[in-house]
Structure 1
């Protein structure tokens, strides 16, 4: 039997197998020609975004909470063939993690699509639940456990107890808003527009939410909004902290409202036991400490926040008989 987990995020797709661990971790993108044929997928397709050829379209199967099943089918066809997930005389079982914003009918259609492609069985649950498993929380306890998942295009928080989600909330896109805030700050304060790749580098190298006494810096290039000329600028971690300040405050207020909506005993449990956080956005330096100072309760970050959902899938497929 082949056991595989699919972490179906809006920004990326990760596939993990029992035998080999993570076998695919790339952008959820596919490039197609005018006839609908697949030209590239994953990071290769992402690199083609913005090409001037009108016959080439680079698309994501999931956009604005909606699923394009035709595109997803083309992407799955390529992935499953590359990874050899369907083989003669072997049954393939999938465990699927999906964003909480996906409609129940879309989830069922997605499972049906996988079954028609050759899967023997398909199990599924939303990524906030799989995050709790990946964080190795014992959600069967009678006390409340709180999980915050801040991914690239999803931001969810939930309280678990006795193996159930007791309360849950969803906020606007997390990681995408980080890039949007930095883009806005550069335009307003440096009169500069930059590429998506430059924004990625800024987040990775200077991602910070609180000022530092000795901030790191980097040189970036972009297009001047004044004269459309190419210009270089030096920016620092403290610039990014200034750009992200209002967004972090908004996140903290949203989490605080969620905590206030809990039952008194649940609030007490979370104050005592803290919030376990994961998702790629939690890699921003100082974010967990900032949230902890504002919320007044411990905020813990999983060992590898960007891979917590994938870790949860690995745990689930290892438990299958």
Structure 2
């Protein structure tokens, strides 16, 4: 049975923290990052910290307390979660909250489980329920969890991608790899430096990636802003969408390999279900330019991308049953 007192659904990602309260329909999203000085004092958090990229003095550093969905800094992660919970509660100054249902990776270890529990407890959550992210994402995408039929969830995050085969409200098989949207950003930074003579910051790479994704066709161009390597002056390059898309596709092989490696070791009947129903592509980077087409071509599976694919975990978390 679900505990009706669980007031928040939480997805603590390496790039974005998402929170949904039972009283609201809108998902609160905030970057999981803070700007700290040498003494560990927080000067900015979330979007305010991201705005310092390329502008911050040497005395400040940008810190992400969650890396590849593993907690690296429990103190900072708890602080960011507490601030976000207060905002999701309408700006309350409360130090405690009724409880939360928290999305976790399917194959999370004991140490990381404890680290995540510590973060939630230090943020003020009194009761905590952990649910597998793939089950929450399936429920948030409209998959009936009680059906004894195979469902394949491919969750592409900023730094990690997982592929999970589900049936009857349980994770039957799962694989993951350290690849995601930030790998595309890194590739775009390298491309602009070596082919176009332009130094760009991670924020500009992220912007170019989103412009590329929204492009209707690959024959257009995307303006990319940065610093000319030779003159040291601000400059802009009009880069073909096809060229940017080629960089993005270089990361897609690892994602499709996950699916192709998962299916041979899965029960045949569930694999038949997947080939009939297709896979659900979700996560923060699900809309990467050409990714659905790549998966469709490489695996032979229909590919379905839900609306707001990054939010399906928090939207479906409460529908996941408790173990036993």
- Bin the TM-score by the shorter chain: 0.7 to 0.9
The correspondence for 2:45, drawn from 19, 26, 41, is 41
The correspondence for 1:137, drawn from 139, 143, 150, is 143
Q: What's the CA shift for 1:33?
A: 3.4
The correspondence for 1:72, drawn from 62, 65, 77, is 77
Aligned with 1:281: secondary structure?
coil
Distance 1:151 1:162, change over 3 A: same
Q: Identify the residue that residue 280 of structure 1 maps to in structure 2.
A: 284
Q: What's the CA shift for 1:18?
A: 1.0
Instruction: Please report the TM-score for the alignment, with normalisation by the length of structure 1.
Output: 0.86
1: CA distance between counterparts of 2:319 and 2:40? 37
Gaps of 5+ in 1: none
Is 1:311 the counterpart of 2:315 in the alignment? yes
The count of aligned residue pairs is: 315
Q: Is the 8 A contact 1:10 1:99 kept in 2?
A: no
Distance 1:225 1:100, change over 3 A: farther
1: CA distance between counterparts of 2:89 and 2:249? 46
Q: What's the CA shift for 1:117?
A: 4.7
Gaps of 5+ in 2: none
Is 1:11 the counterpart of 2:15 in the alignment? yes
Q: Is the 8 A contact 1:208 1:286 kept in 2?
A: no
Q: What's the CA shift for 1:138?
A: 1.8
2: CA distance between counterparts of 1:258 and 1:217? 37
The correspondence for 2:155, drawn from 135, 149, 152, is 149
Q: Identify the residue that residue 184 of structure 1 maps to in structure 2.
A: 190
CA deviation map 1:168-214 (0-9, x unaligned): 000122111111222233233323321222112111111279x94x6
Q: What's the CA shift for 1:126?
A: 3.2
Indicate the RMSD between aligned Cα atoms, in angstroms: 2.9
Which shifted more, 124-133 or 58-67?
A: 58-67
Aligned with 1:168: secondary structure?
strand
Q: Is the 8 A contact 2:295 2:303 kept in 1?
A: yes
